Amino acid sequence: MAARLWAARLTRSRQRFWSHLEERALAQRTATDLGLERANGTHAASRHPEGRGNGRRPFPRLTSYRVSALSVGLGLVAWELYARNTETFVPPFTDVIVAWVRMMGSGELLAALAVSSQAFVLGLGLAVIVAVALGLILGLSDTIDHAAAPFVSALVALPSVAYIPIIMLWIGFGLEGRIAVVFEFCVLVMALNFRAGVRSVDPDLLEMARAFRLTRWQTFRSVLIPGSMTGIMAGLRLGLGRAIKGTVTAEVLLVLVGLGGLVKHYGNTFRIDSLLAVVGTIVLIALVLTSLLMRLDRRVNRWRPRVQDTGA
């Protein structure tokens, strides 16, 4: 009985999802047609009519957030059951938690985190600066873009790991070497997205800027940068992910320090619970940083009409 109710609810929420999108779009259009006050009218109209106020509800509504949380919870329970009932190298989830608490208590994790974050922050920061410059140049100049295209394609095709021996020889095993790996992992993807952002700026807006005699700097600040914001944020999101991968990769392949060093160490000594505790920490950090960036994205792109809000 309960199962059937859930199934019905799932179907309904799926239907709702699509009608929800259409409703929003429609409400938005109607509101603008009527010249209604911003947002207020739109949002009120797009709320599900059956969403509230129908008295008792036996189950909580399946928001996308709840579905995600449910899926994670079920995954962890399955993991625990599987590990407890079979003989594998996979430790139960609770063992991983215990290991994590122990490593936090001993300061081992935090010390490793401090070491890792140095290379991460410096490598990513440097890469952002270079990528902004590169993205602007490639986005604004066709000639330079054409000239650079073969090199860019070659560099993109090459797996990032292939640079590590070169970095080893050129820069060495110190902090500089790790910074270089992080930089190399994330700089291109950001530059290419920034470039795409600049190229996505509506040429009509640039013509308008010329017609009203905006200075170079005003055009840059008021038209080009806001117009490129979608590409810039996409680049930062991808770059962030790749910088985390670069940080860990450098620590595993270049020099055994930081979180990557711990991964390698616990892998070699077959302490999988500790290994997974470190991996889990890395995943958590990545998720937190990504969600911060998404929040920033929503902030800078607030002017964009929001038709879809998946809550993810």
Residue 212 beta carbon to other proteins: minimum distance, rounded to whole angstroms: 4
What is the spatial distance between Cα 257 and Cα 274, in angstroms, rounded to a whole number?
16
Q: Toward other proteins, which CB reaches closer, 36 or 126? A: 36
Residue 153 beta carbon to other proteins: minimum distance, rounded to whole angstroms: 21
3-state secondary structure string, the chain?
A: CHHHHHHHHHHHHHHHHHHHHHHHHHHHHHHHHHCCCCCHHHHHHHCCCCCCCCCCCCCCCCCHHHHHHHHHHHHHHHHHHHHHHCCCCCCCHHHHHHHHHHHHHCCHHHHHHHHHHHHHHHHHHHHHHHHHHHHHHHHHCHHHHHHHHHHHHHHHHCCHHHHHHHHHHHHCCCHHHHHHHHHHHHHHHHHHHHHHHHHCCCHHHHHHHHHCCCCHHHHHHHHHHHHHHHHHHHHHHHHHHHHHHHHHHHHHHCCCCHHHHHHHHHHHCCCHHHHHHHHHHHHHHHHHHHHHHHHHHHHHCCCCCCCCCCCC
Torsions phi, psi for 174 (to 5 deg): -75, -165
Torsions phi, psi for 311 (to 5 deg): 70, 5
Instruction: Count the residues of the shown chain that bind other proteins, applying the rule CB under 8 A.
Output: 24
Per CB under 8 A, the list member of 22, 142, 207, 309 interacting with other proteins is: 207
Q: Toward other proteins, which CB reaches closer, 36 or 122? A: 36
Q: Toward other proteins, which CB reaches closer, 28 or 281? A: 28
Asked if 289 interacts with other proteins (CB under 8 A), we say no
What is the spatial distance between Cα 101 and Cα 122, in angstroms, rounded to a whole number?
29
Residue 28 class from Cβ within 10 Å (0-12 exposed, 13-18 middle, 19+ buried)? buried
Binding mask 81-120 for other proteins (x = CB under 8 A): ----------------------------------------
Residues 229-268 that bind other proteins (CB under 8 A): 229
Measured from the Cβ of residue 147, the count of other Cβ atoms closer than 10 Å reads 12
Single-letter residue type at 288:
V
Per CB under 8 A, the list member of 215, 268, 291, 308 interacting with other proteins is: 215
Asked if 141 interacts with other proteins (CB under 8 A), we say no
How far CA 277 is from CA of 79, 240, 258, in Å, comes to 14, 21, 14
Q: Toward other proteins, which CB reaches closer, 50 or 202? A: 202
Per CB under 8 A, the list member of 305, 308, 309, 311 interacting with other proteins is: 305
Asked if 226 interacts with other proteins (CB under 8 A), we say yes
Per CB under 8 A, the list member of 210, 268, 288, 309 interacting with other proteins is: 210
Residues 11-40 that bind other proteins (CB under 8 A): 31-33, 35, 38
Residue 191 beta carbon to other proteins: minimum distance, rounded to whole angstroms: 23
Q: By CB under 8 A, which span of 8-16, 135-143, 200-208, 286-294 interacts with other proteins?
A: 200-208
Per CB under 8 A, the list member of 148, 161, 168, 205 interacting with other proteins is: 205
Q: By CB under 8 A, which span of 120-128, 164-172, 217-225, 233-241 interacts with other proteins?
A: 217-225
Q: By CB under 8 A, which span of 47-55, 167-175, 181-189, 214-222 interacts with other proteins?
A: 214-222
Q: Toward other proteins, which CB reaches closer, 87 or 204? A: 204
Residue 208 beta carbon to other proteins: minimum distance, rounded to whole angstroms: 4
Q: Site residues (CB under 8 A) for other proteins? A: 31-33, 35, 38, 202, 204-205, 207-208, 210-215, 218, 222-223, 226, 229, 303-305
